[in-house]
Structure 1
Amino acid sequence: MTDYKSLRVTQQDRIAHIQINRPGKVNAMDSAFWTDIITAFQWVDTTDTIRVVVISGAGDHFSAGIDLSLLAQAAGRMGNDIGRNAEVIRGNILRLQDSFNAVDRCRKPVIAAIHGYCLGGAIDLISACDMRYSTADARFGIKEIDMGMAADVGTLQRLPHLIGDGIMRELAYTGRVFDGCEAERIGLVNRVHDNHQQLMERVMVIASDIASKSPLAIRGTKEMIRYARDHSVEDGLNYIASWNAAMLQSEDLKVAMAAHMTKTTASFAD
């Protein structure tokens, strides 16, 4: 397996566990993180034995967001020409966006398990995940506004599909920090848990349940949900009709039906 600098990546049965692994730096996202996350999700996408992904943070926090030293380095490379500076900055932003696009586009469901800080760029990351669970005392915040900038790696584009537009604007405009209980109330997380151990245990149960399903059916379901987010109802219905014209011929359908009728547990090929 790849030697990651900012992540700890393991496979437990059919679950990939990707941990942000800079606990001494509050799991801040340094330069290595942005390339590591793409590499990790390329591995997930091409490894058929993996059916679901869990993302968490090592130590006491999920992530405090982008490492500020990374921003300082970028500022130090600026020259005197505004146009050329803008081209460099735009390229850097697009490169960072690619990292979380890899999470969003992953063929397998991605679950975020959040404890401690989940700030700034970490909100961009969890917004790209399929589902989010947290501890009650987790701390969330869209903190880019307090650094004099607009969030630019996915929060403002994906979060409105997860929570109401008004509350999203409040959080983005104020940068205020809120806890896991409020995150559950506004729909950012599916459920809160009392502590980190309980959180990880419950998330792994959910991941195992998903991993037991037909991988083709899960793949199709995720693809349709993503497509519907960005297209009309009519477009989505047409797409699922074309998709299932092929997928309903899969052996998985026969296996699932047989298991259902005999009240046994289905076993699907990777």
Structure 2
Amino acid sequence: MSASDYFDLDLQEDGIARLTLNQPARMNTMAPDFFPAFRDAIQRLHDEGGTRVLVIASTGKHFSAGMALQTFAGQGGLLDTGDARARLSFQESLRRLMACFSVLDEARFPVICAVQGGCIGGAFDLAAACDIRLCTADAFFSIQETTIGMAADLGILQRLQGLMPAGMARQMAYTGERLGAERALQLGLVNAVAPDAAALLEQALALARQIALKSPLAIAGSKLALNHARDHGVAASLQQMSLLQSAIFDTGEMGRAIVAWQAKREDAGFAPLKPVASLPEG
């Protein structure tokens, strides 16, 4: 199956990209070939440099019910842990699956996740790897893996304690219970709750436009600094900031921003980031 069998991807001239899960009849579940298609799509946006913000949304009643259950059927291939050699291969396969969502965290642009209805299992791993989460009033989040007898393994256990109080993250992991929209807002997991899917998308795109008007250099630098500070201590992060700022400080960029601000003009006409140079083949 191709990427279009799982999601639609559109990049607008304003630098806002929209990735929309497009299989509502299957509750937007994620079969094994979804993951590399998703990873490659995000990596391509990262490499090309034209994306300033990515909005991830969905169609139908639920954002996604997570990994398709047929993925867990049988013991061969990806899930083979029958002997030491198989377990070693399993570790590498799992690391590659993790990377399919880590690409969101590593992207040079912010990612806004607009969640409607259920955000379950692997979908929660995806949402947790985004910069910002918004949701509908009927949304709920669940670490479903606990219910089917396994520990969640695509990043939610590593990221959730940084997004909400550790005790609640652990309660969700241990019980598999659903966390509703209002409680998610109270705990800081989501930034806002919209009444329905249409209002949610409108709010997500409005936020994306607000970010897209800023200097992509400043936004990319801010994301790098925030991610480093999240994963390191203050002293190490301040040291990293001195190196980062020396690399991205641009008086011309600041001049354009100041002139636009003084003129009360939203669009300062910032240039996009440059593409990432690809390595020569063979």
Quote how far apart the aligned CAs of 1:22 are: 1.9
Structure 1 portions without partners, runs of 5+: none
- The residue number in structure 2 matching 1:6 is 6
Aligned position for 1:199: 200
Asked if 1:170 is matched to 2:175, the reply is no
What does 1:185-224 align with in structure 2 at a 5 Å threshold?
A: 185-224=186-225
Aligned to 1:184: 185
Please tell me whether the aligned partners of residues 27 and 64 of structure 1 are also in contact (alpha carbons under 8 angstroms): yes
2:222 maps to a residue whose letter is: T
Contact persistence 2:3–2:37 (CA under 8 A): no
Q: Which amino acid aligns with 2:76?
A: G
Q: How many angstroms apart in 1 are the aligned matches of 2:82 and 2:34?
A: 29
2:271 maps to which residue? 269
Residue deviations 1:69-105 (CA, integer Å, cap 9, x gap): 11215x2346794212312322221121010111111
- Equivalent-residue separation in structure 1 for 2:238 and 2:181 (angstroms): 35
The residue identity in structure 2 corresponding to 1:192 is V
Write the distance in 1 (CA, Å) between the matches of 2:252 and 2:80: 59
Aligned residues: 268
Tell me the distance in 2 between the aligned counterparts of 1:80 and 1:148. Answer: 16
Q: Residues 252, 24 of structure 1: CA spacing in aligned structure 2 closer, same or farther, 3 A cutoff?
A: same
CA drift at 1:253:
1.0
Residues 65 and 120, structure 2, Cα contact 8 Å, conserved in 1? yes
Tell me if 1:232 matches 2:247: no
Is the aligned partner of 1:124 residue 2:129?
Answer: no
Q: TM-score, normalised by structure 2?
A: 0.90
Question: Residues 127-168 of structure 1: CA distance to partner in whole angstroms, max 9, x if unpaired?
Answer: 100000000111211111111111111001011111011010
Partner of 2:72: 71
SS class of match (2:5)? coil
Tell me, what secondary structure is at the counterpart of 1:63? coil
Native 8 Å contact 1:115 1:137 kept in 2:
yes
Looking at structure 1, the residues matched to 50 and 40 of structure 2 have their Cα atoms a distance apart, in angstroms, of: 17
The equivalences for 1:248-267 within 5 A come to 248-265=249-266, 266-267=268-269
Distance 2:215 2:43 in 1: 21
SS in 1 for 2:164: coil
CA RMSD in angstroms comes to: 1.6
Q: 1:64: how far off? A: 0.4
Letter in 2 for 1:9: L
Separation of aligned partners in 2, 1:79 and 1:261 = 62
Question: 1:241 maps to what in 2?
Answer: 242
Separation in 1 of the partners of 2:82 and 2:48? Answer: 45
User: Aligned to 1:213, what secondary structure does the other structure show?
Assistant: coil
> After alignment, is 13-22 or 79-88 more displaced?
79-88
Give the secondary structure class of the aligned counterpart of 2:18: strand
Amino acid at match of 1:107: R
1:117/1:138 contact within 8 Å kept: yes
Alignment check: 8 A CA contact 1:6 1:32 kept: no
> Could you list the runs of 5+ residues in structure 2 that have no partner in the other structure?
273-282
8 Å Cα contact 2:125-2:155 kept in structure 1: yes
Q: TM-score, normalised by structure 1?
A: 0.94
Distance 1:198 1:185, change over 3 A: same
Distance 2:255 2:120 in 1: 45
